[in-house]
Chain A
Amino acid sequence: MNEVLRLQRVRKSFGEELVLADIDLSVPEHSVTVLIGASGSGKSTLLRCINLLEQIDDGQVWLDGHDISAVGVDADVVRRRIGTVFQQFNLFPHLSVIDNITLAPRVVHGVDDHPARVAAMALLDRFGLAQKADGFPDRLSGGQQQRVAILRAISTNPRLLLLDEVTSALDPVLVAEVLSLVAELRADGMTMVIATHEMGFARRVADQVGFLHHGVLREIGAPERVLDSPETRELKDFLTSVREAGRL
């Protein structure tokens, strides 16, 4: 079993505040890791440390056996191998849907215009977005925008895909279409690390679920283990609060 990502004692502070405390994590190839935890527990920061949008204070991050937290590593080169999707989509409003998707292949990976377009059309077609190819992002629904953002992130065939609460900004009716796209990527064998509040989804797609609490990875294991028989007080409380929020 190949290991795509490994974190070793990753530590990160913002000023005085310790946001990630000695995180250890191993992500095998073709597996899905779901991170759960209250808002502010450090999920986004952890993802941003993986794609080097943040610099870690201590520890190491390994991608495909290379220490990408080492001095002198070119962050641009690392990010070419990692796809990232954000809560707020962050599509480029001045580019059409298809140009959003082909930008990185063309500009970063040197793919010619035509093959880049063909590949992007194939992606859009597969996920039912072909008619939107030449439209602009602001004409799409939130669910469509987020699906385009995910296609943009996988347009460069990344080794690893990071999804940061990709459904949190969406109306409940739009959540399903985004989650089913993620489930399809899982079936394709995409290696993913996903921060989410959707517990049902976590249970369905995760190979392992990690619970972050104040920057500490308190529990990690198979989804049934973590979600059905939590060991710590904090995780029990968190799961209760999520369930109650769901009932409201």
Chain B
Amino acid sequence: MTERSGSTYTPSPERIARETARRRAARRSTYSAAISTLVVSLILIVAVTSAPGWPRVQTSFFSWEYAVESLPLIVQGLWLNLRVLMVCSVIIMGLGLLLALARTSKSPVLFPLRALAAGYTDLFRGLPLLLVILLLGLGVPGLRLQGVPNDVVFLGALALILTYTAYVAEVLRAGIESVHPTQRMAARALGLSQIQTLRHVILPQAIRRVIPPLLNDLVSLQKDSGLISVLGAMDAIKAAQIVTAKSFNFTPYVVAGVLFVLLTIPLTRVTDAIAARLERERTIGGAQ
């Protein structure tokens, strides 16, 4: 760099012309994007608000009073969703990792464990989450087992954990299998044990590669945490439901929806940013 940025360099007229043209083109595409966004939004707003049913929809779904009235209860409910999300995601990550390791192990001794793990993932990736929640939430209390809590939040969270562990394990398994076998060979040749190889060589590479899909699963988990409301857990959706039942006004649902979206946006932005960064690193690395 230093030898090239000497004081004697003056950009050629061609370079200046080229850069001016590029700047102009960039500005033009920004303007046209802004204008087309504006036009589309206007058309949508006009179409919706001029619809014959709009005044009724407006009062029952977009009422300012009901929004303000229901907000505290819904926010309180959302706090439950957040706590469920945080606790579940930690447990899911741990269990998913164990399951992925079981499925990718080559040891013949672990065959039963591998088969069990494969059956588990097939089962819980196939079952609709809502069904798992209902079966656990309604079935387990019916069993009257000693020492198993019948708390709806616990059972709902358990259903989320069981289902998402299967998803996350599959993502991690794909990551582990994407690391080339010669990496394992190089580590073992250095004297690293099986476990040390996993810990220092395989997993760091595997997890880096699957961070974007893992974060996607986290975003889905955040939304699906609302499903525990069907068991009666006092989360954001249940809170909205309660206010709606009293007032016959659906605005609280909209409020809950807006809050969920607001929560998800930062997470998806982080996901996109990380994915873009990893992609950039990969292409720079691959260019050599």
On whether the two chains bind one another, the answer is yes
A interface list, Cβ under 8 A from B: 51, 53, 76-77, 79-80, 82-84, 86, 88, 90-94, 103-104, 107-109, 136, 138-139, 152-153, 156
A51: chain B residues at CB < 8 Å are 189
7 additional A-B residue pairs with CB within 8 Å, beyond A53-B185, A84-B189: A53-B189, A77-B191, A82-B189, A88-B182, A104-B190, A104-B192, A108-B190
Q: Summarize B's interface: helix, strand, loop or mixed.
A: helix
B interface list, Cβ under 8 A from A: 182-183, 185-193, 196, 200-201, 204-205, 208, 285-286, 288
Known: A93-B285, A103-B200. A79 touches B188 (CB 8 A): yes
Asked whether, in the complex, the Cβ of A92 is within 8 Å of the Cβ of B201, the reply is yes
Name the contact of B192 in the complex, choosing from A88, A91, A107, A153 (C-beta under 8 A). Answer: A107
In the complex the two chains form, what is the Cα distance from A84 to B185 in whole Å? 10
Asked whether, in the complex, the Cβ of B185 is within 8 Å of the Cβ of A108, the reply is no
Asked whether, in the complex, the Cβ of A90 is within 8 Å of the Cβ of B190, the reply is no
Name the contact of A138 in the complex, choosing from B193, B204, B288 (C-beta under 8 A). Answer: B288
In the complex the two chains form, what is the Cα distance from A64 to B183 in whole Å? 28
In the complex the two chains form, what is the Cα distance from A83 to B285 in whole Å? 27
B286: chain A residues at CB < 8 Å are 138
A53: chain B residues at CB < 8 Å are 185, 188-189
Known: A138-B285, A138-B286. A92 touches B183 (CB 8 A): yes
B190: chain A residues at CB < 8 Å are 79, 83-84, 103-104, 108, 152-153, 156
- A-B pairs with lowest CB-CB distance, top 10: A80-B191, A90-B186, A138-B285, A84-B189, A104-B190, A79-B191, A108-B191, A90-B182, A94-B204, A76-B193
B188: chain A residues at CB < 8 Å are 53, 76, 79
B108 to chain A, nearest CB (A): 14
A86: chain B residues at CB < 8 Å are 182, 185-186, 189
Provide a sorted-by-A list of 14 A–B residue pairs whose CB atoms are within 8 angstroms. A76-B191, A79-B188, A79-B191, A84-B190, A86-B186, A92-B186, A93-B205, A94-B208, A103-B200, A104-B190, A104-B192, A108-B191, A108-B192, A108-B196
A109 to chain B, nearest CB (A): 8
Asked whether, in the complex, the Cβ of B189 is within 8 Å of the Cβ of A79, the reply is yes
Asked whether, in the complex, the Cβ of B285 is within 8 Å of the Cβ of A136, the reply is yes
In the complex the two chains form, what is the Cα distance from A92 to B182 in whole Å? 10
In the complex the two chains form, what is the Cα distance from A94 to B186 in whole Å? 14
B199 to chain A, nearest CB (A): 8
In the complex the two chains form, what is the Cα distance from A99 to B193 in whole Å? 18
In the complex the two chains form, what is the Cα distance from A136 to B288 in whole Å? 11
B107 to chain A, nearest CB (A): 14
A138: chain B residues at CB < 8 Å are 285-286, 288
Name the contact of A107 in the complex, choosing from B185, B196, B208, B288 (C-beta under 8 A). Answer: B196
Smallest CB-CB separation from B203: which chain A residue?
A94
In the complex the two chains form, what is the Cα distance from A170 to B114 in whole Å? 41
